[in-house]
Amino acid sequence: MMTATVKLVSRVRRLGCVLAFCFLALFLWGLPGARALDNGLAMTPTMGWLHWERFMCNVNCQEEPDSCVSEKLFLQIAEIMASDGWKDVGYEYLCIDDCWMAPERDSEGRLQADPKRFPGGIRRLANYVHSKGLKLGIYADVGNKTCAGFPGSFGYYDIDAKTFADWGVDLLKFDGCYCDSIKHLADGYKHMSLALNRTGRSIVYSCEWPLYMWPIFKPNYTEIREYCNHWRNFADVYDSWQSIRSILDWTTSNQERIVPVAGPGGWNDPDMLVIGNFGLSRDQQITQMALWAIMAAPLLMSNDLRHICLEAKALLQDKDVIAINQDPLGKQGYRLRKEDNFEVWERPLSNLAWAVAMVNLQEIGGPRSYTISLTSLGQGLACNPDCLITQLLPVKRKLGFYEWTSSLKTQVNPTGTVLLRLERAS
């Protein structure tokens, strides 16, 4: 339920306009832009599907042929992404994670797919994926072994980059296991970035560089952005509300450091969307989708699209929410405040619009009301002098015209989120 209390005085309104221009100047020119990886890719956050959270390292195709990491799985997911609306709303990359490799490199030192689980090899799989209008992502590791123990790329960066390009790969997820020093870690991520660019093929570069540096010291995000298109900061996501909460808590604790560096060509990656699996309630799935949009996060689903429920499919394919995630202004949102077990997040959008999310973190009781003054949103800009507000989640409805000194009251379910879009009315 939404109500508005309007207490508009012309003098206050004029003052608001003056303040807005001041805030606008600070907002637009207060921070220098960070230099991005110069490969022309990921100008908006990457969207697609990644196998890891749902299918992990299941290589037992004899007993579990429908859920093992295999050519069959990726052919089926590609077909569904192309035919069931996923490609049409922006989910473009079909990404293989760990456990696709054979245990050893070939006689020329090249990585090779497991011949039993990928009998046609990666090149044939890439050709099929491309024929569906999709792009193929693959996984490797900066160290001596992948996290699951398959051959790593240390000492083979140039060979592996050329191999991926020859196969027609479009994205590389580069993990950081089994690396013996921070220097080798940093040098390896840089080396692979340059090697991929030298191939001449457009390959999105997804790093886990800062994730493996945080335990020792704070990463240099300006440097990381010069080499990577997106980068993981925190532990793997699990199919649980506790996991989602821990990712959001880490993000808000470090937002002053990580938010300013994100933008077209380089994004913070809070990990996969687990919507459509088993561990999140409907409200918690809404929260993940809303806040991944606010955070300008890569939208890489990890679920079984062959057996996804209609409710989860509709949420993941919500064009209005995807439009926030993909907004061309390319500024990451942030938590504005936390009080009484509510969080308010906001994100600046193109055309002076704003996205606002109100999250109810309480895990007991029923829906709770939250009232917010519109003057506090968007650094005073979001509804100045007035705005049109549309609720996008949990259900879409137009809330109407509001003035700068209005207040907005909403009800939010436990662990749920209300996502709003505020646009200039005049």
What residue ranges define each of the domains in the chain, with the CATH number in brackets? 47-326 (3.20.20.70), 334-424 (2.60.40.1180)
Among 172, 175, 257, 243, which residue's Cα sits nearest to residue 208? 175
What is the predicted pLDDT for the residue at 106?
98
Q: Which residue has the tokens 């240099």?
A: 220
Which residues of the chain fall below pLDDT 50? Answer: 1-33
Among 306, 382, 303, which residue's Cα sits nearest to residue 349? 382
Contacts of 178 (CB under 8 A, 6+ apart): 141, 143, 144, 145, 146, 147, 152, 154
What is the predicted pLDDT for the residue at 293?
99
What is the predicted pLDDT for the residue at 34?
59
What is the predicted pLDDT for the residue at 215?
83
d(CA 211, CA 269) in angstroms, rounded, equals 10
45 and 299 Cβ atoms separated by less than 8 Å: yes
> What torsion do the CA atoms of 149, 154, 156, 158 make, to the nearest 10 degrees?
130
303 and 275 Cβ atoms separated by less than 8 Å: yes
315 and 286 Cβ atoms separated by less than 8 Å: yes
What is the predicted pLDDT for the residue at 35?
72
What is the predicted pLDDT for the residue at 315?
98
Per residue in 67-89, pLDDT (tens digit) is 999 999 999 999 999 999 999 99
d(CA 32, CA 20) in angstroms, rounded, equals 21
What is the predicted pLDDT for the residue at 38?
83
pTM equals: 0.93
Catalytic residue numbers, as ranges:
175, 236
